């Protein structure tokens, strides 16, 4: 099965980013495809390389980057939501790219299921 994922919450304010990541890992482990992860609203904060969690905490941004690198997952950040939060192309962590809502619509067309994490 081919999944599209939407993440609407930031990496440390809510469980949504962790749940989305763990879902992606489990789905890939079962042989499914994560076609695209679209970061929207506060979810765009998952994409900034400016995040520096304490050493004893998980680094959610790095987790997403590794997922993209190891499994070819397309990590798309909503341009309007990103700019509202001061996130620009030069602030993106490895594996993320900025694009528009058309990428979200395309994911809905190209995938078997769209799953949203966060409000």
Q: Structural domain of residue 41, as residue ranges?
A: 2-113
Q: What's the whole-number mean pLDDT along residues 43-60?
A: 92
Say if 119 falls within a structural domain. Answer: no
**Total-model pTM:** 0.96
State what percent of residues in the chain have pLDDT above 70.
Answer: 100
CB 92 within 8 A of CB 49: yes
What is the total count of domains within the chain?
1
Tokens, residue 30? 């079962």
CATH number, position 102: 3.40.1260.10
Say if 65 falls within a structural domain. Answer: yes
> Which of the residues are catalytic?
78
Q: pLDDT tens for residues 85-98?
A: 999 999 999 999 99
Predicted confidence at residue 55, as pLDDT, reads 87
Q: pLDDT tens for residues 38-49?
A: 999 999 999 999
pLDDT at 52 over 90: no
Say if 22 falls within a structural domain. Answer: yes
Give the burial string for 55-86 (b: 16+ CB within 10 Å, else e): eeeebbbebbbbbbeeeebbbbbbbebbeebe
Predicted confidence at residue 13, as pLDDT, reads 87
Tokens, residue 108? 């809905």
């Amino acid at each position: 099965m081919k999944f599209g994922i939407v993440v609407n919450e930031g990496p440390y304010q809510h469980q949504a980013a962790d749940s989305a990541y763990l879902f992606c890992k489990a789905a890939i482990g079962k042989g499914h495809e994560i076609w695209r992860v679209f970061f929207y609203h506060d979810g765009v904060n998952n994409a900034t390389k400016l995040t520096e969690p304490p050493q004893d905490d998980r680094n959610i941004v790095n987790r997403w980057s590794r997922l993209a690198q190891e499994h070819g997952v397309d990590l798309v950040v909503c341009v309007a939501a990103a700019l509202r939060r001061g996130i620009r192309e030069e602030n993106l962590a490895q594996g993320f790219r900025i694009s528009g809502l058309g990428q979200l619509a395309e994911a809905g067309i190209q995938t078997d299921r769209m799953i949203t994490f966060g409000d």
